[in-house]
Amino acid sequence: MDNSETPKDKTYQKIMEQLNDFMEHLPSEEDRHLLSKMVSNSYCKHYEAIKSMENDDPSLFTPLIIALIVGQNSMIDQLKENNC
């Protein structure tokens, strides 16, 4: 799956629906956009792993959270390499 566009499949839509209440309470539109972009990028990058859990994990948050953590750790490692 390509990171350049928002996924349109039912698994992604289900995740976004579950996050909707949380996102509505974020303090700014910028925060909502940032979270949406992070979820979209992680979903696209780790699509196969998240989809593989769809039938076993009704909330889909476990694989999504792991994908977000992996992505954030990768960014942190890149920043550390660039600053050292």
User: What pLDDT, in 10s, does the model give residues 13-67?
Assistant: 888 888 888 889 989 999 889 888 888 888 888 888 777 776 665 666 777 787 7
Asked, for residue 18, whether it belongs to a domain, the answer is yes
Asked, for residue 44, whether it belongs to a domain, the answer is yes
pTM: 0.63
Q: What is the pLDDT of residue 5?
A: 54
Number of domains in the chain: 1
**Domain enclosing residue 46, as ranges:** 10-83
Q: What is the pLDDT of residue 78?
A: 85
Asked, for residue 4, whether it belongs to a domain, the answer is no
Residue 59: is it exposed, middle or buried by C-beta count within 10 angstroms (0-12/13-18/19+)? Answer: exposed
Asked, for residue 39, whether it belongs to a domain, the answer is yes
Asked, for residue 5, whether it belongs to a domain, the answer is no
Q: What is the pLDDT of residue 29?
A: 93
